[in-house]
Amino acid sequence: MTLSTNGPNSDLIYKGTTVTIEIDPHAGFCFGVDRAVHLAESLLQKDSQAYCVGDIVHNQKEMDRLSQLGLTFVNHQELENQTSKKVLFRAHGEPPQSYQLANQKQHQLTDATCPVVVKLQQRVKKAWETMINLNGQVIIFGKRNHAEVLGLVGQTQNQAVVIENMNDLDAIDFSRPIEVFSQTTSSLTDYKLFCERITSKAQSTLKINDTICRQVSSREPWLKAFVITVEVMIFVGGTKSSNAKFLHGVCKSHNPDSFLVSGVDDIQMEWFAGKTRVGISGATSTPLWQLQEVAQWLHQNLNEQIKN
């Protein structure tokens, strides 16, 4: 393998005889996921086995790697059936009931909730306490069954109204006071459109909070700029990752030759016929090592294809 030695991101550029492969320098885990993975690794260095409630990240390869280190993934019912275990809460956050359960079952808890999500949970809880006195509503814009949203709704005694798209607006009583929050990984564009719509319909006080994580939202404009510099874009993401599907859509809208894969087994060599510049990026749940794995595989196979 020949690596370019030009520039600060030289370890992200793979130069072959005719094909150059570049990894998006802004790709890799977001801060919250990276922190959770490091906490899991530290926990497993001290003990050969630990339990994580739910998928630590929506990426099967990374989960397989952590499983081999001794991390077991369980659901809330399975957690309830265990006692006195080392337990990790993932970056997405948990509702208050999960902490109560961990305490009742005497689990040794490592809380890897992203600090951004922790602050949002606190704000949602405070807003709910205010809205109770005003006969108001707390609105969460996000995916109804997403782990982060479940944790946010839990701050409101499960009374917050979750809005996934414009078709859900009938669930809002616009005659009552409203305070709005967004899941941290929602599309900034979609959230803005939603806020414009409810602003036009509100009949009482309305407070809109900007709660989308900027580390996540900044990926969108960067991808728009990066994807037009390459001929083929390989976007690596887990099949459960809504962030992967969204960001791949961003790529596809600006470069039709953008393909979503979960690993090298999904790659089709005909995508690269006659192409000389390939880009690789991934979701906030895709580790850099997996992007490098794909880049190395492409570097080897594309050059072999050219020789033949």
Residues 231 and 256: their CA atoms lie apart, in Å, by 9
Residue 88's beta-bridge partner residues? 52, 110
Q: Which of 150, 55, 158, 53 is nearest to 109 (CA)?
A: 53
Which ranges of the chain does DSSP label H, i.e. alpha helix?
Answer: 31-46, 60-69, 76-80, 96-104, 115-134, 147-154, 188-201, 214-217, 219-227, 242-254, 288-307
- Cα distance between residue 186 and residue 58, in whole Å: 15
Q: Give CA–CA dist 18/129, Å, rounded.
A: 62
Distances, alpha carbon 253 to alpha carbons 166, 259, 268, in Å: 22, 11, 20
Amino acid at 159: Q
Listed residue (82, 117, 115) closest to 101, CA to CA: 82
For 298, the 3-state DSSP assignment is helix
d(CA 205, CA 143): 25
Chain-centre distance of CA 78, in angstroms?
24
Strand 13-15 versus strand 20-23 pairing type: antiparallel
Q: Is 78 in the active site?
A: no
Catalytic residue among 22, 62, 94, 148: 148
Print burial letters for 262-292: b (CB count within 10 Å at least 16), e (below 16).
beeeebeeebbeeeeebbbbbbbbbbeebbb
List residues with catalytic annotation. Answer: 148
